[in-house]
Amino acid sequence: MLDDARWTVQMEPYLPSDFDGDLCVTLADIEAFLPYWLRTDCNDPDWCDGRDIDRNGQVDLADFALLGQGWLLCY
Ligand SMILES: [Ca+2]
Ligand SMILES: [Ca+2]
């Protein structure tokens, strides 16, 4: 008999624009984002400390838009 409990998957919270780790996207995360604005030297593994959210090598408007998608969301 199968033990259904073994199929339980634990999901880690994932909010890529939560830079300060408080599980919400707020003004503090924008403040943490700004120092990296327009950097073009982002690469694996840290992607400019995660600010290059779409991992294209630079911190630009596309990353800011992704940050905006999570605006005021919390886990
Ligand atoms: Ca946060
Ligand atoms: Ca980017």
Closest ligand to C-alpha of residue 55 is 2
* pLDDT band with cut points at 50, 70 and 90 for residue 12: low
Name the pTM for this structure: 0.80
Residue 1 clears pLDDT 60, i.e. is over it: no
CA 56 – ligand 1 centroid, Å: 22
pLDDT recorded at residue 2: 58
Provide mean pLDDT across the span 67-74.
94
Provide mean pLDDT across the span 51-68.
97
Closest CA to 62 of 51, 71, 49: 51
Provide mean pLDDT across the span 36-62.
97
At the topology level of CATH, where does 19-75 sit? Type 1 dockerin domain (1.10.1330)
User: Could you state, in order of their start, the residue ranges of all structural domains in the chain?
Assistant: 19-75
Closest ligand to C-alpha of residue 41 is 2
